[in-house]
Amino acid sequence: MDQTETNSDSPEEFTFDRKKMIANLMELMPKMKDLREKTKEIIPTIRKPELQVIAPDSNTIQSDLEKICSVPHRRIGTEEAHEIENFLEKTCKELGLDNVEKETFEVINWVATDWKLTIEANDETIEMPCFYTLNTEFTDKKGITAPLIYVRAGSKKDFRKIDVNGKIVVADIEFPTFPVGKVIKMAEPYYVADPQNSFDESTEVILTFVLTNFLPQALGGKPREDSVYWRAVRGGALGLILILRDAPTNINSHWGPYDGSFKPVPALYVGKYDGMKVRELAQTKNSQGTLILNGYKEISKANNIWGILPGQSEEMIMVSSHTDSAFQGASEDGIGVSMVLAQLRAWSKIPKKDRPKSLLFVLTTGHLYGGIGAEQFARKYKGSLLKKVLVDVNLEHLCAKDVEEDLDTHNYRFTNNLALGAVFLTHDETLVAHTIKAIKEHNIERMILIPENFFNTPPIGEAGHFTTHSDLKVIHWIRNPYYLLTAEDTLDKIAMDKLHPTAQCVTDLINSLMQLPAKR
């Protein structure tokens, strides 16, 4: 895809709009209630499959996960990403996928090599810990030196009486807090899996993947009018310092917004607590900052990998995830890819004659590049291959551990839970019933089953791109650990003891779906 091309029907990434979500829920609630009643009738009629399919043990899944996470990142178009793409292609062939396809497309590889932030105020110079903001413009080696100006969260009102021309803008980045407990009490989901009673009406989560005032734009689309970044650019700012004000720790690495769109002035992130000092200095008379962001851009290649495990019918169940990651990416999405491989390992041991339906395994790249890989795949095959797909079982962030902020150290500490998650489902009573049954039987923890458009958007994650550009039904599993998109997303964040039980639940769900009648 030409990166300068405007692609008006590409969806924006997830946007949390509280008012629109509540209005949408008011419309969904009667439909959800009706579907819940139907599932109660369907679940007792679901036959136990005659064929037993065993998912790989935890050690096998962990071995795949460790290989996928053996490189420091899997950023699209990089040698590190290509190394893992080659491993996945080879593994898929070894496990018996028919005609494994490695489909290549062009991207721009944006690489930061050096970054630094210093602030001069009150006759002293202070260097502040920072991290680069993805896909913003590079400076020369000396960087940009200019007066600092603080614009709070950078609303239209905040900019109204402030002249940012020729200055470095300092702004607070907002993450929304989602009142999980209150919302699920108001709009009863299809099912709540919480056997440990680990959350209640007071439970809230920070959506750390949503930058409320620095939202992504559609891939190839126009700049967003409601963004603090673009307001600063339009005002003539030379650069931005973005404080991750609502993050649950002092971490400053953040891979967002991950829309694949390139931006005209440089920007750096600073952590919440370091940001308190930056905010104070920016409001000091005659303060100025020096922002350095060195790097380069180059044309590169990226690869989607897919193949079919044939069964007795050409009708298929699709199993998918994305391969790219910003950092080590244990949860985003090394674990998702490992779970896809777990299904391939399980089902490849079953003879073709015992597989009622075929299985389509799809590993796309570019989730963190505006979903370009999934969009490419969906556009190419929506009128052919995907017409045969009964449902897409998309797997992301499974087995990710829950964390909270240690208020003494301002670092993450583990709770005793898995990260809270959701299964986004197409409004189809049969698919919902089969999913509820599998999750109940396997005692899956901290998962809420909701309609795919629960947030008045496409499903969060890779499945959203598939549903937008094709007519796929989805069962989309995803969790929300706070360390997504940060350098903290490491292997220690995965609950290795949950690998086999989770994989077996997915295996049994697919086995159950194998019994469904053919599409009409």
Residue 109 DSSP label = E
Q: In 170-216, which ranges are continuous DSSP H helix?
A: 180-186
Answer yes or no: is 159 within a domain: yes
250 shares a domain with 334: no
Per-residue confidence (pLDDT) for residue 15, from 0 to 100:
64
334 shares a domain with 281: no
Q: What is the pLDDT along the chain (520 residues), one digit of tens a residue?
A: 333 333 444 444 556 677 888 888 999 999 999 999 999 999 999 999 999 999 999 999 999 999 999 999 999 999 999 999 999 999 999 998 988 999 999 999 999 999 999 999 988 999 999 999 999 999 999 999 999 999 999 999 999 989 999 999 999 999 999 999 999 899 899 999 999 999 999 999 999 999 999 999 877 778 888 999 999 999 999 999 999 999 999 999 999 899 989 999 999 999 999 999 999 999 999 999 999 999 999 999 999 999 999 999 999 999 999 999 999 999 999 999 999 999 999 999 999 999 999 999 999 999 999 999 999 999 999 999 999 999 999 999 999 999 999 999 999 999 999 999 999 999 999 999 999 999 999 999 999 999 999 988 888 889 888 988 888 999 999 999 999 999 999 999 999 999 999 999 999 999 999 998 876 5
Which is nearest to 177 in space by CA: 245, 121, 117? 245
95 shares a domain with 126: no
291 shares a domain with 422: no
Which is nearest to 345 in space by CA: 506, 158, 135, 520? 506
The CATH number assigned to the domain holding 163 equals 3.50.30.30
CA distance 404 to 119: 31
Tokens of 350: 């079953």
CA distance 511 to 425: 18
Answer yes or no: is 412 within a domain: yes
Per-residue confidence (pLDDT) for residue 16, from 0 to 100:
67
Assess contact for 153 and 172: CB atoms under 8 A.
Answer: yes
Residue 221 belongs to domain spanning = 110-176+206-298
Per-residue confidence (pLDDT) for residue 8, from 0 to 100:
40
Give the residue from 274, 298, 322 where a domain finishes. 298
Task: Give the chain's largest Cα–Cα span.
Answer: 79
Answer yes or no: is 28 within a domain: no
Question: DSSP characters for 114-160?
Answer: EEEEEEEETTEEEEE--EEPTTPPP--TT-EEEEEEE-TT--HHHHH
Tokens of 65: 């996960």
The CATH number assigned to the domain holding 327 equals 3.40.630.10
Radius of gyration for the alpha carbons in the chain, expressed in angstroms and rounded = 23
Q: Quick count: other Cβ atoms within 10 Å of Cβ 50?
A: 8
* Cα separations in angstroms, 192 against 280, 380, 393, 501: 44, 36, 19, 18
CA distance 513 to 500: 20
CA distance 335 to 345: 15
Answer yes or no: is 5 within a domain: no
Counting Cα atoms < 13 Å in the Cβ hemisphere of 433 gives 20
117 shares a domain with 85: no
313 shares a domain with 292: no
Number of independent structural domains in the chain: 2
172 shares a domain with 235: yes
* Cα separations in angstroms, 378 against 1, 249, 334, 383: 14, 37, 22, 9
502 shares a domain with 372: yes
* Cα separations in angstroms, 64 against 54, 60, 68, 78, 88: 17, 7, 6, 20, 10
CA distance 361 to 366: 17
Residue type present at position 7: N
Instruction: Give the predicted TM-score (pTM) of the model.
Output: 0.94
CA distance 9 to 221: 9
Q: Report strand pairing: 358-364 vs 177-178.
A: unpaired
Give the residue from 298, 321, 349 where a domain finishes. 298
* Cα separations in angstroms, 388 against 96, 230, 316: 20, 43, 6
Q: Report strand pairing: 177-178 vs 205-206.
A: antiparallel
308 shares a domain with 448: yes
Give the residue from 282, 298, 314 where a domain finishes. 298
- 3-state secondary structure string across 424-488: EECCCHHHHHHHHHHHHHCCCCCEEEEECCCCCCCCCCHHHHHHHHCCCCEEEEEECCCCCCCCC
Per-residue confidence (pLDDT) for residue 9, from 0 to 100:
45
Question: DSSP characters for 16-57?
Answer: --HHHHHHHHHHHHHHHHHHHHHHHHHGGGPPPPSS--PPPP
